Amino acid sequence: MAELRYEKLADDFAGLIAGGVLRAGERLPSVRRLAQERRVSISTAVQAMRQLEMRGLVEARPQSGFFVRARPPALVSAGGRATPEAPVAVDLNQRLAAVLQANQRPGVVPLGAALPASELLPVAALHRRYASVARRFPLLLNGASHTDINDPPLVRQLVRRSLAWGGPLDADEIVVTNSCTEAMSLCLRAVTRPGDTVAVESPGYYVMLQLLESLGLKALEIPTEPETGMSVAALDLATRSGQVAAVLLVANASNPLGSVMPDESKRKLAQLMAARGVPVIEDDIYGDLCFDARRPWPIKSFDSAGNVMLCASFSKCLSPALRIGFVAAGRHRQAVALQKMLSSGGTNPITQRVLAEMLESGAYERQVRVLRRQYQGQVEQTMAAVERHFPAGTRMARPLGGLVLWVELPEDVDTAALWRRAIAENIACVPGDLFSPSGLYRNCLRLNCGNPWSETVAGAVKRLGELAAE
């Protein structure tokens, strides 16, 4: 059934409260103002406020209006599980392939893969830029050399942009890649050998686990907090005995938790790993998409030893179809560049120049500014809908950036079974155990919030909640 107007209005405000835009004790606009601004009737505005009151989110104070209540108890952070002390072999590829493939079927509501809706991406601008670059620089296709893997104008732009987050990067340490996934794969190959152990976040991004599996590496799960990211204390313990060959993590808006490590933790991690000679592979794909007004710095900016390899791409801001990213590999530059040559010989020169021009013209910056707010709104809408429709006892992480939401259901809910029922009804999501090589998080799931809020998305989240309650 289509959502009623007052429900929609209430959901909007619930989202703002869940996301911390409206804080405890703050006054909501009067119903009269609300009616005017949102172009609804007074009675719709009143009903919306009553809804929020019933949901425990706001309280009415005589003669003064509606105020945000202290945080509702249901909305606490998930995570913080006890992880295995020993490294484990990763065996997820087969199951993941089945889940991801089914999630991608046409007609499925895309709450699975962490992907933006294409309508949010500057596809037309990219088309124009490709045509223009191809026309103006015909020599770009005259045979790029396998030893000349970077387009200098792009490297210049990447260095310039890094000034916004504690750079500058050194132009010589940059290797342009086909995606962030390739960047991470190259780094792993450069600094590990089959059988080695890599410390990862728990819960952590499943493609990272797949990379470990494909390279014959073991994973050591490090507890990761919903707001502050990987526990540096746990990593400290885990790396004392010399058994860890590398650390692989997302410090800014981790996937799936949306956590951002505080600067102090980043500094400590950088220093500790440099002192122990454990290379850090940092995935900063969401760095530009954090919700705070100040763009968080990556661990890389706290590293003076060249020990951190920073990987990123333009998949979440411009288009995942571009397949372009980079790594700033510090002292591992040569080893990474060698792996790049062996792996794919280079990166399409036209795409590199297109990206260089998108960065130089300011188009990228404008896109990021809009998209950051868009993703934040979508995450908040999803949080509000989960709070409303999921069974009692459901908890959520509170993402500080990115476009996914981690949901923890009551203990007895098996999200692998929930996924099977959901996908049979053409609703995608990703079961929680795929974010842990030891199969933790069986009662959790991750929702993609990359799509503008719509009746279809709202209906799918609601239905997931109903299935979970069954």
Ligand X SMILES: Cc1ncc(COP(=O)(O)O)c(C=O)c1O
Contact between 247 and ligand X per CB under 6 A: no
Between 9 and 356, CB nearer to ligand X: 356
- State how far the Cα of 112 lies from the Cα of 125, in Å rounded to an integer: 27
According to CB under 6 A, which residues from 293 to 312 bind ligand X?
Answer: none
Contact between 255 and ligand X per CB under 6 A: yes
The contact pattern for ligand X, residues 58-97, with x = CB under 6 A and - = no contact, is: ----------------------------------------
Number of residues engaging ligand X in binding (CB under 6 A): 13
Give the residue among 100, 108, 121, 144 at the shortest CA–CA distance from 321. 121
Residues 445 and 432: beta-carbon distance below 8 Å: yes
Backbone angles phi, psi at 27, to 5 degrees: -90, 140
Contact between 352 and ligand X per CB under 6 A: no
374: helix, strand or coil: helix
According to CB under 6 A, which residues from 263 to 292 bind ligand X?
Answer: 283, 285
The contact pattern for ligand X, residues 197-226, with x = CB under 6 A and - = no contact, is: --------x---------------------
- State how far the Cα of 228 lies from the Cα of 261, in Å rounded to an integer: 5
CA 314: distance to chain centroid?
Answer: 13
With a CB cutoff of 8 Å and minimum separation 6, the contacts of 114 are 255, 316, 402, 403, 404, 446, 448, 450
**Using CB under 6 A, which of 112, 325, 399, 437 touches ligand X?**
325
Residue nearest to ligand X (CB): 313
204: helix, strand or coil: coil
Between 181 and 301, CB nearer to ligand X: 181
CB of 79 to ligand X, least distance (A): 16
Strand positions, DSSP E, 25-121: 58-61, 65-68, 88-89
User: What token pair was written down for 133?
Assistant: 């670059």
Identify the H or E element spanning 131: helix 123-136
Residues 167 and 383: beta-carbon distance below 8 Å: no
Q: Which residues of 18-49 are buried (b: 16+ CB within 10 A; e: fewer)?
A: bbeebeeeeebbebeebbeeeebeeebbbbbb
With a CB cutoff of 8 Å and minimum separation 6, the contacts of 294 are none
Contact between 379 and ligand X per CB under 6 A: no
Between 34 and 114, CB nearer to ligand X: 114
Between 239 and 255, CB nearer to ligand X: 255
According to CB under 6 A, which residues from 157 to 176 bind ligand X?
Answer: none
The contact pattern for ligand X, residues 176-195, with x = CB under 6 A and - = no contact, is: ---xxx--------------
Contact between 110 and ligand X per CB under 6 A: no
Between 232 and 253, CB nearer to ligand X: 253
Backbone angles phi, psi at 175, to 5 degrees: -125, 120
Between 401 and 465, CB nearer to ligand X: 401
Bridge partners (DSSP) listed for residue 249: 282
Contact between 320 and ligand X per CB under 6 A: yes
Contact between 19 and ligand X per CB under 6 A: no
CB of 159 to ligand X, least distance (A): 20
CB of 256 to ligand X, least distance (A): 9
Contact between 250 and ligand X per CB under 6 A: yes
Task: State the DSSP code for 252.
Answer: B
Contact between 114 and ligand X per CB under 6 A: yes
Between 186 and 270, CB nearer to ligand X: 186
Identify the H or E element spanning 26: none
Q: Among the candidate windows 15-23, 28-36, 212-220, 313-321, which touches ligand X by CB under 6 A?
A: 313-321
Which parts of this chain interact with ligand X (CB under 6 A)? Answer: 114, 179-181, 205, 250, 255, 283, 285, 313, 315, 320, 325
